[in-house]
Structure 1
Amino acid sequence: MDGYRVPVGRHRVEEKIGGSLFIATADRVSSAEEAKAFVEAMKREFRDATHNCHAFVAGPPGASASGMGDDGEPRGTAGPPMHQVLTHCGIGEIAVVVTRYFGGTKLGTGGLVRAYGGMVKRCLEALPSRFFATSEPLALTVAYGDLAAMKHEVAAHDGEVLSEVFTEVVGLSVRLPEALKDAFLDRVSRMATVMEG
């Protein structure tokens, strides 16, 4: 396996459960610091909410760079069930904040576990994601006129552009899944100079 799926942009779902409004927001995070910044941003956005509970995995699926928080809910009823779903969902570099506006009906321990874990599952069901390759980057040199076509080929081969340098030509650093690298190189051989590594 030379990569894994990651979120594409921020995604949000909401649902009323037992009178309370639950809002799950997911985003891509590649470090614990980014995850904490995302959680703080959600707490600012929903500052009037009763709880803003979170869980994150800041690396490959199941990575040890992870965390969770109950934000005032009974211990273990929010963060752990959310984290459990994220750890086994097959998506990496992801953080989810589940916001709750209390509606007057207590859900009990089991109800909270089901609500928080269930909101993460619902969010993941519709989450836009893409393949993130972890192979060695390729260095490409391409003419300005071929830049749009090159970026299209990178995307079509589940790759990503890591950096761009503009001089007389465009220098690109791209990362692609190993399994698709040969097909990609075959497609772009006429429009680019390629230096591996």
Structure 2
Amino acid sequence: MSGYPIPAEAVEWSEEIKKSRFITLLRQVASPEQAKAWIAEVRAAHPTARHHCWAFVAGAPDDSQAYGFSDDGEPSGTAGKPMLAQLMGSGIGEIGAVVVRYYGGVLLGTGGLVKAYGGGVGAALKLLPVATKRYMVSTFLECDYGDLGTIEHLQGLYEGVTEAAEYGARVGLRIRWPKEHLASVQALACERSQGRIMLRPTDA
């Protein structure tokens, strides 16, 4: 997989169910920390709401360590889990959901709550525009000044982005590439420089 869909912008969906108002908010969250900061912002923006239930997949869609959810006072399993199930089923990564509930005085029951919270996220997802986040790999290389043209040409062909450069007796470059292009770039760099250029993936 060369990448995965992420939210392109924030969306909001609102509906009234048995006098309770449910406001569903979706947006991109790139990490659990960012997700929790956003949840706190929503809570502060709706201080009189009874519940602020949430769920997030704050990473790649299949990264279980990036999952989180909360029922925020609703009966266990009736809010956060159905919300998370909708997010996971969408295949979208880096996504957070908060459902704000203004209680209207009528109990919905367990099934009604699951439908309200999960259904709200499902409805909001239908409105959500998405973009694609590509998997990127950082590499480091050293080359002579005479080989810079080869590297720049490969960057133009394969969408390489220079992250850092050091100019001394030789040039040291840290370049980020789309993961699906890395093998081709490595092979062509070696071939066109007659073995002088070697790209080394780096975690930095």
Query: Could you list the runs of 5+ residues in structure 2 that have no partner in the other structure?
Result: 141-155, 166-174, 185-198
Structural RMSD (CA): 3.0
Equivalents in 2 of 1:33, 1:116: separation in Å? Answer: 23
Q: Is the 8 A contact 1:62 1:88 kept in 2?
A: no
Aligned to 1:133: 134
SS in 2 for 1:136: strand
Aligned to 1:168: none
Q: CA deviation at 1:132?
A: 0.5
Equivalents in 1 of 2:109, 2:121: separation in Å? Answer: 19
Q: In structure 2, do the counterparts of structure 1 residues 133 and 105 end up closer, same or farther at CA, with 3 Å as the change threshold?
A: same
**2:89 counterpart letter in structure 1:** H
User: Deviations for 1:141-161, whole angstroms, at most 9, x for unmatched residues?
Assistant: xxxxxxxxxxxx9xxxxx8x8
Q: Is the 8 A contact 1:162 1:175 kept in 2?
A: no
Equivalents in 2 of 1:177, 1:114: separation in Å? Answer: 40
Q: CA deviation at 1:2?
A: 1.1
Q: In structure 2, do the counterparts of structure 1 residues 17 and 39 end up closer, same or farther at CA, with 3 Å as the change threshold?
A: same
Q: CA deviation at 1:105?
A: 1.4
Equivalents in 2 of 1:72, 1:63: separation in Å? Answer: 27
Q: Is the 8 A contact 1:61 1:93 kept in 2?
A: yes
SS in 1 for 2:136: coil
Equivalents in 2 of 1:162, 1:81: separation in Å? Answer: 42
Aligned to 1:30: 30
Calculate percent identity across the aligned residue pairs.
43
Aligned structure 1 segments of 4 or more residues deviating by more than 3 angstroms: 161-165, 173-179
**Mapping 1:85-100, distance limit 5 Å:** 85-100=86-101
Q: Is the 8 A contact 2:18 2:108 kept in 1?
A: yes
**Mapping 1:107-122, distance limit 5 Å:** 107-122=108-123
Equivalents in 2 of 1:92, 1:42: separation in Å? Answer: 20
Q: In structure 2, do the counterparts of structure 1 residues 137 and 20 end up closer, same or farther at CA, with 3 Å as the change threshold?
A: same
Equivalents in 1 of 2:86, 2:162: separation in Å? Answer: 29
**Mapping 1:143-154, distance limit 5 Å:** none
Q: Is the 8 A contact 1:133 1:175 kept in 2?
A: no
User: Deviations for 1:131-175, whole angstroms, at most 9, x for unmatched residues?
Assistant: 110033699xxxxxxxxxxxxx9xxxxx8x89799xxxxxxx776
**1:117 counterpart letter in structure 2:** G
**1:178 counterpart letter in structure 2:** E
Q: CA deviation at 1:122?
A: 0.7
**2:48 counterpart letter in structure 1:** D
**Mapping 1:42-57, distance limit 5 Å:** 42-57=42-57
Q: CA deviation at 1:104?
A: 1.8
User: Deviations for 1:56-79, whole angstroms, at most 9, x for unmatched residues?
Assistant: 011111321111001111111100
How many matched pairs?
A: 162
Equivalents in 2 of 1:118, 1:127: separation in Å? Answer: 14
Max radius of gyration: which structure?
A: 2
